[in-house]
Amino acid sequence: MSPSAKKTPQTNSPSSSAMIATPHWLASQAGAKVLKRGGNAIEALVAAGAALSVTYPHFCGLGGDAVWLVADEKGNARTFLGIGQAAAAMPRGEIPLRGPASTLTTACLVDSWEKALAYSAAEWAGTEQLPTLLDDAIALADGGFQVSQSQAFWYEFRRDELNDWPGFAGLFRSGGLQHQPALARTLEAIARHGTREFYEGALARRIASGLAEVGSPLSAADLAATQTDIVAPLRQVYRDTILLAPPPPTQGITTLGIMGVLGHLPMADFQPDSPAYYHALVEAVKQAFLDRHAIADPRYAADVAKHLLDPDRLVAKAAAIDPAWALPWPQDYRHGDTALLAAVDANGRCASLLQSLYFDWGSGVVIGDTGLLWQNRGAAFSTDPASPNHIQPGKRPFYTLNPGLALKNGRPHLVYGTQGADGQPQTLSLLLSLLIDHGLDPAAALARPRFLLGRTFSDSRDSLKIEENIGAELVSALAAMGHEISTIDAFSPLGGQAGVIRIGNDGSIDGAHDPRSDGGAILL
């Protein structure tokens, strides 16, 4: 694949039988090849996700995690929680946001490929083999690719820090053609020996050695213990759809909570460019975010899903919203970056996948000679012993990743997700309301102005950030309702990178990836 190939445009046509959407056009092409030759949605996302791990190294990679949500054409759904666990030997003291001491959790993306492909073979009659699915990723890592606008933005944003990151300098670029030969060799080892090579083989020993060299608490035994959990998704009725989301320790429950609150508000009666509409969305976000402190690994803390989604609780939260005045908002926030991939195959089977290193560029630490940039997901833990998310050996941290699916008449209707940490449930609530309450098509919904409640990389205030293309009158009206407003650029990188695929009752497909990204949706 030539690095000078033309960018595939975003597409929004209801006439095709299969579709894939990712934030980088080369990843979309890799997945489209699989769909074109008859592969299913899971297989397509393994190929696309591997390619994205190469072409979007600032947001995701083999040194990170993945959360999957899949459903067949009849609506039978499963979640794959590819979330690494904390090291068995935990250091004491505060958890740094970057550097070797932030590499506290193992990386589960590669293991999630194995579990997803096994499910594909057993339940969907999948026949694609991992070595073939990794071909494009290996070729891109070896042959090179043009640095994306998103990578260039986040490279420049961190330019003053990156010279202090172990192994980072000289490996990644802010422009031009980027090669990752060491990562290509790592991918080749996985293709040759299988996914457990990453955790128990010769590659695993090299990874463990590299982690030890930089002072990470992770060991070979921690790598070998890494496993993806396969669980049922959470469900929440919204109008005539059933929304699916991954369970704790992810914040999928937060997205469902927001939508559960909005389900008791007249969102269809509000014009989508009105102050009342945005006010309702923001206030519903606040009501759900008030509960996020309780979300943690259910193997170590109480499983709060049933309690937080209790219908009476959601009714009470909706009633607590003042339609004329904003709830004051000084709340903690979590920043991080992620990549959404979505696919629907010719049989109507769907997969929604989020891959992540947590922060942009993760820990900033490249492991030995493997080309692996390791995540800093351990920074999401708390050091407060009273917190449900208190760090413990073998525990999974609170997780921002929450890919989504929506069923209508018992069958897949929407496949969606977004990058953006705290912004994920906020963006998803806006998109889902626009799609379901107002009937917008995916491309139109993705082009609407976004909001982001809370602090960001560039603004430490707990303000409501709104893209400036929302209009000065609407900004003034929201400010008059008590919202502390600050504007960000139209189609700002802070607004997230979302993707949506919609399946009609007649089986037709349309969709798009975010205009804030470097990708698009390919129809077949």
**Catalytic residue positions, numbered:** 338
Buried b / exposed e over 71-91, threshold 16 CB at 10 Å, is bbbebebbbbbbbbbbbeebe
**Neighbour count for residue 232 (Cβ, 10 Å):** 11
Q: Which two tokens stand for residue 325?
A: 């005045």
Q: What angle do CA 146, 501, 421 make, to 5 degrees?
A: 65
Q: What angle do CA 43, 222, 248 make, to 5 degrees?
A: 60
Distances in Å between the alpha carbon of 436 and those of 241, 268, 319?
8, 9, 22
Nearest to 20 by CA among 3, 1, 36: 36
3-state class of 165 per DSSP?
Answer: coil
Q: Which H or E run includes 282? A: helix 275-289
- The residue assigned the tokens 């976004």 is 450
Contacts of 511 (CB under 8 A, 6+ apart): 11, 12, 19, 21, 342, 415, 442, 443, 499, 500, 501, 502, 521, 523
Q: Which two tokens stand for residue 178?
A: 């980027």
Rg (CA), the chain: 21
